[in-house]
Amino acid sequence: MSIDPNKEGLTVGVVGAGAMGRGIAQVSVTGGMKAVIFDTADGAAAAAKDFIGGMIQRSVDKGRLEEDAGEKAIANLGVAGSIQDLKDCDLVVEAIVENIDIKQSVFRQIEEVVSEDTIIASNTSSIRISSIASACTHRGRVAGLHFFNPVPLMKLVEVINGTDTSTETTSALEVIGKRMGRVPVVVKDAPGFLVNLGGRAYTTEALRIVSEGIAEPHEVDAIMRDSCGFRMGPFELMDLTGIDVNFPVSQIIYNGYFQDKRLSTAPLHESMMEAGRLGRKTKAGFYDYDAEGNIIRPDGPAKVNAQPARQVVLAEPAPALEPLLRDLGISVLKDDDGQSPILAAPIGEDCTSLAVRLGLDAKRLVAIDALTGTHAHATVMAAPGANDAVVESFIAALQQNTNAVTRIKDCPGFVAQRIRAMVANLGCEMAQIGVATPEDIDKGMKLGLNYPHGSVELADYLGSRNTLTILEQLQAITGEERYRPSQWLRRRALLDLPIHTRD
């Protein structure tokens, strides 16, 4: 037996009257269902009811909700004096402290009072659903229902299958999630679930790049925002969520996947936490903050005062550079004159490797990341010992046609290629191991983290062959297992198949 998720008057019990519990109750009643809030702290549930009522009225006042609908939603909101008052609920969602022992105790108490058909779900973000369910008698009706903060604004909800979760339970939670106005994605019970796992690559690879001295945090952030369409750079994001939050989560997920190097963070991450530079909350993280909590941003890239280059030599044929050079009014020499910049647009390769492979003059070699485009923000690099005058002559030419140019140290994959390839690779690996369907992985990353592309579809956006090449070059040049390509990506790239192709 199972509940009818479409039934009129379906009642959702919410255990925990904090921000998440309030949000879950709010979307339940605005979705046409009833909600009953319980909290062990005296007055907390009643205060949550008043808070939710105020938020709903605010939506009515702003014209986001019809007055009749608002009144009905508020009327459907109730308070439980004890956990026994949840006995008639069709679904109970636990949204309390992230402690396995406390959660198991609460689930046992819920089981004692609700019917055998009632679904019991946890809003946990880090504890395995199967671990919570192990304390229960009827494990088939136990699942995860992981919302994102703030719940009324974040449209995604993860429906997490424990080892014993029944298909009826999963299907019912998908329907209820939609009734709440959320977009449900079905996820396997694994460390980090979908969004917290998929979000690791963006920040950890940025940390690696800064740790290697390739670029500064504000430079990495500017490249990822301006060139790649991310709403926040990785260091801004870590400061916002708090280093004391994202470093432990990174470690939990890394250890949960038995130290898969593709999920490892950098010592710099721990150093920031140990130093107490936790981000916006302490007014000091990777950035400093003013009294109002606004980032104090370092100055952008300085303009170079060199004579713009008017001719270049191409390191090797590069069709992607032709429109840029035409716009800049730069001609391409057929023969190397021994003085002009040698221009390249490598995929995954650094200038050092490129110079050795082609027998080029490394001092005049200038590489530009053509995969990001150059109008909003161009990224340029050169090999150690480069002739700065030659490099700056090309940067001066670029400055005439772009908002900003950032010069980084020699690096396989520049900044954007490295970070985006790692994001895509992790998305493909999640598809490979069945964390969720490729489509739900993409949906989760766009709705849960506001990524401009889903992490699986990002491989298609970059070109699956390009993505594979970047990773293979990174692995070959650095010797690190960290850059091992997912077999999902490798097979589809080599067979020239769409990245979402199922086995």
Catalytic residues: 125, 146, 158, 196
Strands 295-296 and 156-161: unpaired
Strands 77-79 and 34-38: parallel
Residues ≥6 apart with Cβ < 8 Å to 242? 278, 279, 280, 281
CA distance 77 to 24: 11
366: nearest Cα among 381, 387, 377: 381
CA distance 420 to 404: 20
CA distance 298 to 287: 9
- DSSP per-residue codes, 223-253: HHHHTT--SS-HHHHHHHH-HHHHHHHHHHH
Distance of CA 4 to the CA centre of its chain: 34
- What are phi and psi for residue 326, nearest 5 degrees? -65, -45
**Cis ω on the peptide bond leading into residue 150 (within 30° of 0)?**
yes
486: nearest Cα among 418, 420, 412, 422: 422
CA distance 100 to 40: 17
CA distance 267 to 250: 12
Ramachandran quadrant class, 329 (left: phi over 0; alpha: psi -120 to 50; beta: rest): left
Whether 79 and 45 have beta carbons less than 8 Å apart is answered as yes
CA distance 234 to 187: 25
Q: What is the DSSP letter of 287?
A: S
368: nearest Cα among 380, 360, 376, 377: 380
- Tokens 């986001």, residue? 64
Amino acid letter for position 82 = S
